């Protein structure tokens, strides 16, 4: 299926003549993930570039949130947090649990555990999914225990 998708993407890229539309850009992002064997081997710089193109083509707070994650993966959590913090006043994201969840993850990676705990807790109050809420509260608890990556050792 991945091979078929990559073939279709190549055809779409050829048809776009260097001016890809939003669906082609989204497919290109997905292709980067599909071709990588691990998160570490993913071409995060290319994904950042694709999100920048997508943001220019179809600006959206969600695209910017995803771009912030890609920036964090490519350049480190501090760089991702800098992008993410530009979204803190975005009205459409005020009740979206993934904004504080991503922020918490980046803060935790930076060792800013109290802030991370607060953001994980806030995110847990915004999700309606019980399993997700439990995961977010468990991650908040790891911040209280003082180990920034305790949740990753399980």
Residues 87 and 43 in one domain: no
| Distance (Å) of CA 146 to CA 102, 108, 117, 133, 140 | 19, 10, 10, 21, 10
pLDDT value for 134: 98
pLDDT digits (tens, 9 = 90+) for 66-109: 999 999 999 999 999 999 999 999 999 999 999 999 999 999 99
Confidence of residue 154 (pLDDT cuts 50, 70, 90): very low
Residues 81 and 132 in one domain: yes
Is 130 within a domain? yes
Residues 80 and 55 in one domain: no
pLDDT value for 152: 43
């Amino acid at each position: 299926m991945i091979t078929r998708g990559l073939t279709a993407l190549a055809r779409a890229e050829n048809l776009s003549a260097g001016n890809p539309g939003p669906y082609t850009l989204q497919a290109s992002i997905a292709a980067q993930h599909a071709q990588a064997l691990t998160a570490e081997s993913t071409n995060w710089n290319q994904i950042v570039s694709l999100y920048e193109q997508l943001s220019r083509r179809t600006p959206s707070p969600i695209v910017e949130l995803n771009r912030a994650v890609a920036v964090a993966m490519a350049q480190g959590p501090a760089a991702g947090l800098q992008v993410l913090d530009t979204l803190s006043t975005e009205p459409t994201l005020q009740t979206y649990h993934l904004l504080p969840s991503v922020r918490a993850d980046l803060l935790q990676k930076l060792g800013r555990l109290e802030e991370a705990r607060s953001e994980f807790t806030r995110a847990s109050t915004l999700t309606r999914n019980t399993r997700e809420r439990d995961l977010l509260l468990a991650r908040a608890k790891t911040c209280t225990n003082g180990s920034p990556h305790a949740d990753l050792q399980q």
